[in-house]
Amino acid sequence: MRKLRILYATLVFFFLYLPLGVMIAYSFNSSRFSMAWKGLTLDWYVKLFSNTALMQAALHSLFIAALAATCSSILGTLIAMALQRWRFPSRKVIRTSLFVMMMSPDIVIGISLLVLFMALSLPLGFWTLLMAHVTLCVPFVGITVYGRLQGFDPHVVEAARDLGAGEYEVFRHVVLPMVFPAVLAGWFLSFTLSIDDVIISFFTTGPTFEVLPLRIYSMVRLGLKPEVNALCAIMILITAVAVFASQRFLKEKS
C-alpha cells in the first residue's frame, strides 16, 4: 500500500515535469530542424538575446506586469479596507462581484473589456492593456487583503480613533502596516498573473504594444523553433526561482 502510494505520486510528478525537462534539454540541442540529438550548443540562447523584437516584447511584459501589479495592489487594498471598515450601499454586491470576477473565465473578461474599449472608442494598446490587467488582478489582491483584515482585532482601530486619528491616519498608520504582507503577496500574485496572461492580452492590446506571451504564441503557431525552447527554458527557470524565493520569504516571516 505504502509502495503503491509512492509509485503513484512519482508517476504524477513524472507527468508534470517530463515535458518541461525534455523542452529544456532540446534548448541545448544543436540540430536545427529535427528533434534528434546532435550535440550540445548555446546557439539558441545567443540567437534569443539578439532577437530585438522578442527582447522588446519581454521588456513590455515586465513593465506592464510591474505597473499593473502596483496599481491593483493599491486599488485592491482600498477596496478590501472599504469593505471591511465601512457600511455603504452596494457593499455586498461589490464583495460578491470580486468573487465572481476572480472565477470568470479569462475569455469572458477579455471580450467584455474589448467591447467596453470599442464602445468608448479607445485605441487598443498600452493603456487598454494596462486597464485590462488591473481588472484581472484587483479581485485577487482584494480577496487576499480582505481575508487578512478579517483576522484582526477591531479594537486596535477603535483605539487609534479614540486617540484622535482620522480615517486616513488609521489607514496609513494602522491598517496598512497590519496587512502589508498580504499586500505584498497580492503584488507578486498580480505580477505573475499579468506575465502569464495570454487570453486577456490577446483581446485588449494592439500592434503598437506587443507582450511576450503573444509573441511566443505567434512563434509557436509558426512551428518548432529552437529559440522558443530556449526562451521557455528561461521562463521556467525564472518561475522556479521566484517560487523558491517566495517560499523562503514566507518561512522567515512565520
Partner 1 sequence: MKNDGFFKLTVIVGVISWMAIFAFVPNVLVFLASFSSTSSANFIEPGFSLNNYARLMDTTHLDILLSSLRLSGLVTVICLVTAYPFAAILARTRKPLRNTLLLLVVIPFWTNSLVRTYAMTAMLNSSGIVNNVLLFLGVIDAPLAMMYTPGAVVLGLVYTLLPFMILPLYAALERLDRRYLEAARDLGASPWRAFWKVVVPLTMPGIVSGCMLVFLPGIGMFYVSDVLGGAKAMLLGNFIRDQFLTTRDWPLGAAASVTLTVLMGLMLLLYWKSAARLGRKEA
Query: Quick check: 42 binds partner 1 (CB under 8 A)?
Result: no
Q: Is 82 in the site for partner 1 (CB under 8 A)?
A: yes
Regarding 150 and contact with partner 1 (CB under 8 A), the answer is: no
- For position 122 contacting partner 1 by CB under 8 A, the verdict is no
Nearest of 206, 174, 187 to residue 137 by alpha carbon: 187
The yes or no reply on residue 97 touching partner 1 (CB under 8 A) is yes
Question: Counting every residue, how long is the chain?
Answer: 254
Answer yes or no whether residue 121 interacts with partner 1 by CB under 8 A. no
User: Is residue 232 near partner 1 by the rule CB under 8 A?
Assistant: yes
How far is 120 from 168, CA to CA, in rounded Å?
Answer: 34
Residue linked to cell 486596535: 156
- What are 243's three cell numbers? 517560487
Cell numbers that stand for 40 in this block? 550540445
- Distance of closest approach, residue 199 Cβ to partner 1, in angstroms: 6
Nearer to partner 1, 182 or 195 (CB): 195
106 binds partner 1 (CB under 8 A): yes
Report how far residue 68's alpha carbon sits from residue 132's, in angstroms, rounded to the nearest whole number: 9
* Contact code string over 156-195 relative to partner 1, x by CB under 8 A: --------x-xxx--x--------------------x--x
- Find out whether 83 and 94 touch, Cβ atoms under 8 Å: yes
Closest among 159, 130, 146 to 61, alpha carbons compared:
130
Min separation Cβ 10 and partner 1, Å: 10
Set of cell numbers at residue 80: 478590501
Binding residue (CB under 8 A) for partner 1 from 185, 216, 227, 230: 216
* Adjacent-strand bridge partners of 40: 29
Residue 94 engages partner 1 in binding (rule: CB under 8 A): yes
Integer Cα distance of 147 and 254 in angstroms: 17
Binding flag, residue 36, partner 1 (CB under 8 A):
yes
14 sits near partner 1 (criterion: CB under 8 A):
no
Which of 42, 122, 159, 240 binds partner 1 (CB under 8 A)? It is 240
Residue of the chain from 3, 52, 53, 100 that contacts partner 1 (CB under 8 A): 100
Which residues are within 8 A (CB) of 187 and not within 5 positions of it... i.e. 6 or more apart? Answer: 69, 70, 73, 141
With CB under 8 A as the contact rule, which of the stretches 8-16, 41-49, 50-58, 176-184 interacts with partner 1?
8-16
Q: Which residues have CB under 8 Å from 215's CB, separation 6+? A: 53, 54, 57
Tell me: does residue 196 bind partner 1 (CB under 8 A): yes
**Of 43, 51, 104, 125, the one binding partner 1 by CB under 8 A:** 104
